[in-house]
């Protein structure tokens, strides 16, 4: 079993419902009783500003799946929840699931980069990650707490208590 962290984001087609459906779907990929979710947050879009705010969170679980099998399963969940892959980077989407961490592994190939390439700068990843693992140290040796000190909330607000 490998411990994985997955970021969840949505801003179209009832984003809160899309995130909650994805959280339920992750249970099928997780070792029993290992799935936990951060609080959900409202955050400003990272890309074009003329789109709705996002709902974001992070989930952690243990899985027997290989990294690429997990990626395939995450993309299948996205598709079931209405994700349409377009060329617009950081555009609006029904659901986005990003594999942030796969144990301590470093993966960099044509399909997958782990740790996720942008996670160190994104408040909508770092703060939910801290809900689940405040003492986390990334595979590169950087502590989550040091990243949080350099990352303002940028208007992000919790939608619920943990």
Active site residue ranges: 83, 93, 96, 98
Contact 67, 6 (CB under 8 A): no
Measured CA to CA, the distance from residue 16 to residue 113 in angstroms comes to 27
Strand partners of residue 102 = 4
HSE-CB for 78 with a 13 A CA cutoff: 21
Distance set, CA 117 to CA 10, 50, 99, 123 (Å): 19, 25, 10, 14
Contact 104, 91 (CB under 8 A): no
Is residue 110 left, alpha or beta, with left meaning phi > 0 and alpha meaning psi from -120 to 50? alpha
């Amino acid at each position: 079993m490998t411990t994985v962290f997955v970021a969840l984001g949505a801003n179209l087609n009832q984003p809160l419902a899309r995130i909650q459906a994805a959280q339920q779907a992750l249970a099928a990929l997780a070792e029993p009783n290992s799935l936990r979710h951060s609080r959900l947050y409202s955050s400003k879009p990272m890309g074009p500003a003329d789109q709705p705010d996002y709902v974001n969170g992070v989930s952690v679980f243990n899985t027997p799946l290989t990294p690429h099998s997990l990626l395939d399963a995450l993309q299948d969940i996205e598709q079931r929840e209405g994700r349409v892959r377009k060329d617009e980077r950081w555009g609006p989407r029904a659901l986005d699931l990003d594999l942030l961490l796969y144990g301590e592994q470093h993966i960099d190939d044509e399909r997958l980069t782990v740790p996720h390439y942008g996670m160190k700068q994104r408040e909508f990843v770092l703060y939910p990650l801290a809900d689940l693992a405040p003492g986390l140290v990334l595979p590169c040796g950087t502590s989550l707490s040091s990243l949080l000190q350099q990352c303002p909330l940028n208007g992000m607000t919790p939608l619920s208590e943990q």
